[in-house]
């Protein structure tokens, strides 16, 4: 799906998908809430289907990729590895990417950052929040069980995957202008350096949510997610960024939304609701 924000164009780049039962992902949700979320479930397995993907943002002389999917050898419940093909379908060569911005450094967001020990986007400057770099690239980092079964740590762990591009990584921390027209919004909680991103051009704005939420209904109902680094902080970040989206009527999307669709969050006094942009 293409979204235009002023002179920016934002294309969704699908790398693959993953799925889990709603009961597993959101056990604290009410039965009524979980039933509503089943709209996005696989009719055969009953599992919630979540996309894995990136956003391609083009403006001026910049060709910016937010996150790099799960990579060429997805593991476990991850399937796909189509980011390269999706970029080519947009007419974008790897060498044209000027910047890669990571919303955070989980394995399903850094998979195509390097391949075979080389930066996959040869001319790109790679950018991430320093807090995530310090956390995930540290030799003291212990890979949690859920990530071990969802990846091949000897290849996919951040300290391995990102080592070949360490010398071209540019950092920010928390709230910061990352590039002109692209501002990071501190949303730490899912990981120590998770951020949302405000995109602005010619008086128009949109919001990329990263992994603040993983589904539309997680956003609407304020559900917790099982693999947050700091659950209390993650839920506070969700509420804070959701309020921003509602108050400023910003179109929002996230890389695990089913289909990576865009929409508006509204509040009618009773609950939050989703208005999809078709």
pLDDT score of 263? 97
Question: What pLDDT digit, counting tens, does each position of 12-28 carry?
Answer: 999 999 999 999 999 98
Q: What is the pLDDT of residue 44?
A: 81
What pLDDT score does 143 carry?
87
Nearest to 123 by CA among 183, 171, 63: 63
What is the Cα–Cα distance from 102 to 109, expressed in whole angstroms?
Answer: 7
User: Average pLDDT in the 37-51 region?
Assistant: 86
Residues 6+ apart with CB under 8 A from 55: 10, 11, 12, 13, 65, 66, 67, 208, 253, 255, 260
Q: How many domains does the chain have?
A: 1
Is 125 a residue whose pLDDT tops 90? yes
Per-residue model confidence as pLDDT tens digits over 246-261: 999 999 999 999 999 9
Confidence class for position 39, pLDDT limits 50, 70, 90: confident
Dihedral, CA atoms, 115, 136, 232, 250, nearest 10 degrees?
-40
Mean pLDDT of the residues in the chain: 95
- Closest among 106, 117, 124 to 56, alpha carbons compared: 124
Is 90 exceeded by the pLDDT of residue 80?
Answer: no
Q: Which residues span the domain enclosing 151?
A: 2-277
Structure tokens at 199: 């995109």
Query: What pLDDT, on a 0 to 100 scale, did the predictor assign at position 38?
Result: 85
**The pLDDT value given to residue 255:** 93
For residue 151, the model assigns a pLDDT of 86
Distance between CA atoms of residues 199 and 140, nearest Å? 35
pLDDT band at 89 (very low <50, low <70, confident <90, very high): very high
Q: What is the pLDDT of residue 265?
A: 98
- Given this model, what pLDDT does residue 191 score? 98
- Which domain CATH number covers 238? 3.60.15.10
Say if residue 122's pLDDT is above 90. yes
């Amino acid at each position: 799906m293409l979204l235009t924000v002023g002179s920016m164009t934002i294309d969704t780049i699908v790398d693959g998908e993953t799925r889990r039962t709603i009961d597993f992902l959101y056990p604290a949700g009410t039965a009524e809430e979980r039933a509503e979320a089943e709209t996005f479930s696989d009719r055969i397995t009953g599992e919630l289907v979540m996309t894995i993907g990136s956003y391609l943002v083009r403006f001026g002389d910049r060709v910016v990729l937010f996150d790099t999917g799960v990579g060429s050898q997805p593991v476990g419940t991850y399937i796909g590895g189509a980011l390269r093909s999706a970029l080519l379908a947009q007419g974008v060569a790897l060498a044209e990417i000027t910047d890669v911005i990571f919303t955070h450094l989980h394995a399903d967001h850094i998979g195509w950052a390097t391949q075979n020990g080389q930066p996959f986007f040869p001319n790109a400057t790679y950018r991430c929040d320093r807090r995530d770099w310090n956390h995930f690239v540290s030799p003291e980092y212990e890979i949690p069980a859920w990530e071990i079964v969802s990846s091949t740590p000897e290849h996919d762990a951040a300290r391995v995957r990102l080592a070949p591009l360490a010398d071209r990584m540019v950092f920010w921390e928390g709230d910061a202008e990352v590039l002109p027209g692209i501002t990071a919004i501190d949303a730490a909680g899912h990981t120590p350096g998770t951020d949302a991103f405000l995109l602005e051009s010619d008086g128009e704005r949109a919001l990329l949510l990263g992994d603040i939420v993983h589904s539309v209904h997680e956003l609407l109902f304020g559900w917790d997610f099982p693999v947050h680094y700091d659950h209390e902080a993650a839920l506070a970040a969700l509420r804070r960024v959701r309020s921003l989206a509602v108050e400023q009527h910003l179109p929002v999307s996230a890389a695990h939304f089913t289909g990576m669709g865009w929409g508006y969050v509204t509040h009618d006094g009773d609950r939050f609701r989703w208005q999809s942009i078709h």
